[in-house]
Structure 1
Amino acid sequence: MTETAKETAPMNAAAPSRWRRKVNLAVSAAVAVLALAGCSVSADVVAYDLPAESARYSLRTETGGVETVWKYTSDRPAKADTPTSQPCIADVLVKDPGPCRPEPLIFLRYDLDLGLDNTAEADAFHSVTVTGYYQERLGTPPTVTRLRVEASFDGGRTWQPTSTRPDGRNTFTARIRHPRRDKAPEGVALRITATDSAGNSVEQTMPKAYRLR
C-alpha cells in the first residue's frame, strides 16, 4: 500500500510584504481520479494497492486552473517507510493495509517576487525562484537535479524558454524577459518541469501566474 498525501495551498497564501509576495503552489493529489485498482480516498489521502513489481505511473490533477502532471516509479513496499511520529493514514482507514510509504512526488514552491498588487514590471527582466520539495513523511527523498521554466505571454499558445540556474538545494532561479504590457494583455503564464535524481518528474502549468504593470 502506498499513499499520496494532500499538499495544497492557495495561490496567494503568504501574507503580502513590502518587498515580495511568496506564492506556494502545491496541487492536491487527493482529488485526482486514479485509474488504479483498490483505490480508497479520504479528505487527506489517496491510498492504492500496486503490483509488487516496479512500474512507471502518471498522476494528473487540476486545481484552480493549475494543471500538474507527476511521473514517478513505484512498487509495493517490502516494509513500512513512515516515521513512528507520523504513522501511515492507511493504517487507520484500511483494514490490514500492509506495508505503507509515501510516494516520491515532487511538489513546487514559488517565489514570484511580485508587487503588492500581484504584478511584475513590464519590458524588463524578472526573476522567479522555484523550490522542489517532498512530503515530510518520505524517509529519504531524492534531490531535484533539473528544472526548466517556460513563459508564455499569449495565453499559453506559444512558450519561450528562460535562463535557469541552481540557487541552493532543490532550488532554481529563472530569469524571464518580460515584453511590453500591451504585448502580454493576458499576463504571464508559466510552465515548470522538474526532474529528480530518481527519475521522477513533475510538470506544472499556471495559465495566469501574474500580470504585468
Structure 2
Amino acid sequence: MLLAAAAVMVLSGCKGGDLVSYDLPAKSARYTFETNTDGVKTVWHYTSATATKDDAPTQSPCIGELVGSNQAACRPEPLIFLRYDLGLALDNTAKAGEDHQVTVVGYYQQRLTDLPEVTSLKAETTLDGGSTWHPATTRATGENTFTTTIKDPRRDQAAKGVGLRISATDSQGDTVTQTIPTAYTLR
C-alpha cells in the first residue's frame, strides 16, 4: 500500500480530510504520479518497492492503521519534492536586466528510511507563459542542493513574468519535473 498522504498534504495544503492512500501491486514497478495545484504541474516517475512491516515506523503509522482496519504493510514512495529560494525582493519580484540566483533543494518524505541522493537538476525559464523554454545554468552547491543563475530580461520582454521548469533525478533513477508558469515578475 502506498501512503500518498504526505504528498497530498504538501500539494493541497491539507484541508482536513485530504489524506489519501491507495494500493499498488505488491511487487516493485515503475509508476507516474501527477498533480496540478494552482497551475503548478508536478510529474514524478519512480519505482516502488515491495512494502514490509518494517517500512512504517511506529511514530508514523500507515493511514490504514489510523482511520481503517487495513493492516497491510505500507511504505512511503521515493517522491522527490522541491523547495525553492527564488532570491526575490519582499514584493516577490526580481530586478529586470540582471542575473540572479535561485536555489533549489530536493528532499523526501520524513518517513522514507533509505534516502536517495538527488544527482542532477536541470532548470529552464520561460518568458511567454510556457510557449518556449530556455535552459539556465545550474550547478550543485551542496547535498541535494543546486543553484541556477537566471538571466532576467528587460521588463518589457517578460510581460507575463518569468516561469520555471525544474527537472531533478536521483541516485535510484527516480525523477520529478515541476512547472511553475509564473514564478515571479520583474521590476
Q: TM-score, normalised by structure 1?
A: 0.81
Q: Secondary structure at the match of 2:156?
A: helix
Superposed CA deviations along residues 24-61 of structure 1, whole A, max 9, x for unmatched, are: xx534989xxxxxxxxxx83432122212211110111
Q: Which residue of 2 aligns with 1:129?
A: 103
Q: Which residue of 1 aligns with 2:65?
A: 91
Q: Which residue of 2 aligns with 1:17?
A: none
Amino acid at match of 2:53: K
Shift of residue 77, structure 1, vs aligned partner:
1.1
Question: Please, which runs of 5 or more residues in structure 1 have no aligned partner?
Answer: 10-25, 32-41
Amino acid at match of 1:92: L
Using the TM superposition, name which of 200-209 and 92-101 deviates more.
92-101
Q: Secondary structure at the match of 2:60?
A: coil
Call closer, same or farther: CA 1:29–1:197 in 2, change over 3 Å.
Answer: farther
Q: Which residue of 1 aligns with 2:133?
A: 159
Question: Please, which runs of 5 or more residues in structure 2 have no aligned partner?
Answer: none
The one of 171, 174, 177 aligned to 2:148: 174
Q: Which residue of 1 aligns with 2:120?
A: 146
Cα contact 1:70–1:203 (8 A) shared by 2: yes
The one of 24, 29, 33 aligned to 1:50: 24
Query: CA RMSD of the aligned region, Å?
Result: 2.1
Separation (CA, whole Å) in 1 of partners of 2:77 and 2:57: 14
Q: Which residue of 1 aligns with 2:11?
A: 27
Amino acid at match of 1:27: L
Shift of residue 153, structure 1, vs aligned partner:
0.8
Cα contact 1:29–1:61 (8 A) shared by 2: no
Q: Which residue of 2 aligns with 1:3?
A: 3
Aligned length: 187
Among the aligned pairs, what percent are the same residue?
55
Q: Which residue of 2 aligns with 1:12?
A: none
Q: Point out the structure with the larger helix share.
A: 2
